[in-house]
Structures are given as structure tokens and as C-alpha cells.
Amino acid sequence: GEDVEQSLFLSVREGDSSVINCTYTDSSSTYLYWYKQEPGAGLQLLTYIFSNMDMKQDQRLTVLLNKKDKHLSLRIADTQTGDSAIYFCAERGNNAGNMLTFGGGTRLMVKP
Amino acid sequence: DSGVTQTPKHLITATGQRVTLRCSPRSGDLSVYWYQQSLDQGLQFLIQYYNGEERAKGNILERFSAQQFPDLHSELNLSSLELGDSALYFCASTESGFTYNEQFFGPGTRLTVL
């Protein structure tokens, strides 16, 4: 079945860039997503990328997709303390409905 | 605020019991998804309903069941509860069951089984 892997933890200093990485196995993935989960809250969609794109930029967020290596990354420029959260990578394969497969989440800690 | 509501926010119960979690999708959304988030299993898709009909099934146990009602709200029923069922249960909704639109997540119901 599909599998999505992420590193567990990332710590950066305020103002630095953060790069969160994700690998996936499903070659039929059509859309790939980044969700943010703050403590005690639900998941909030940050951005997504269609599988035929290499890069997508949205303000401080840059998503890079290497489809050959099945590697996705999320870069947060000028990271702020408010960016501290768990970030989930998710992929949508070519399946019935819109079922998402999530990675285990990367906890981002931003130090002042 | 995503527009998806879930009740209750917290639920504490004992092993062997049965509980019902409720989800109201965003206005106009026809499709509802249930996910379970636990420490050991991460975030897992359980089941999807579209306009009252089951559309897709994930890692949902036989002790669990769900339904979507004519007013489009959905309920997830968990029975014969075990300690390992303690988790955060999320509901998400999309306008359609076929498009690749964003899934809007509710705030979740935290279930604790003692």
C-alpha cells in the first residue's frame, strides 16, 4: 500500500528558513499536500501541489516536488515562533473518493 | 474556523462501552471523511461517505461503523471500546466525492478510553 514518511522533529531559530522533507511510495499520486496542526487544533491546509509541477510558491512557503525520487519538501522562509506546529505531508493517489494518506508528521520547533 | 463542526470535543469512557461521534460538514459539502489520529498509528483514514452512501473504506475496525444522514451530518459509532481506541478522531468534508478539492477538517473529538 501507499506509504508516506517524514522526519519526526525539526528545530530552527526564528528568522531562519525551515525545510521539512517527505517521501512517498505511490507513483500514482496526483496531488500532494502540506497540512499544519497547532496544539489542540484540527488540520489546516497550507498548500498543495499537483504531481505534474516541480515547484509552487505561496508567500513564505515553497513546495518542491521531485517526482522521480518521490520526494516532497516544504520550505518556510523567515520562520516565526507562530510557525511552531506539526506539519503533515499527505498524498492523494488514484483511488476512489479523495482518500488521503498522511505521513507521521514533523514537529517544528522555532526558538526565539 | 473551517466550517466543519464536531461534537463532543472530549469524551472519556470505559473499556467495553459504545460511543457516537458527530460531525456536521461545511454548508454545501456532500462528502464526509473520518480519520483517526493516535500516537502509535499516526493519522489514518477510516471511511468516507458521499451524499449518504459509503464511498471508500480505509483502516476501519469492524467494531466501528459510520453513517451519513439525509441532512449530510455524519456519525461515527465506536463499540466494544478498547484502551487502544483512545485517539483524536477528525472529520473532514469536501464539496464533492470526486474532485480534488481541499478537505476541510473539523477540530476533532478526543476520545479517552480508561
B63 alpha carbon, distance to own chain's centre: 14
CB contact under 8 A, A45 and B103: yes
Strands (E), chain B: 5-7, 10-13, 19-24, 31-38, 42-50, 53-57, 64-68, 74-78, 87-94, 104-105, 109-113
Percent of chain B with pLDDT over 90: 76
Q: Which residue from A44, A88, A97 is facing B50, i.e. has the nearest CB?
A: A97
CB contact under 8 A, A88 and B43: yes
Tens digit of each residue's pLDDT (9 = 90 or more) over B61-75: 999 999 999 999 999
Residue appearing with cell numbers 457516537: B20
Tens digit of each residue's pLDDT (9 = 90 or more) over A11-56: 999 999 999 999 998 877 788 999 999 987 888 889 999 888 899 9
**Is B96's pLDDT higher than 80?**
no
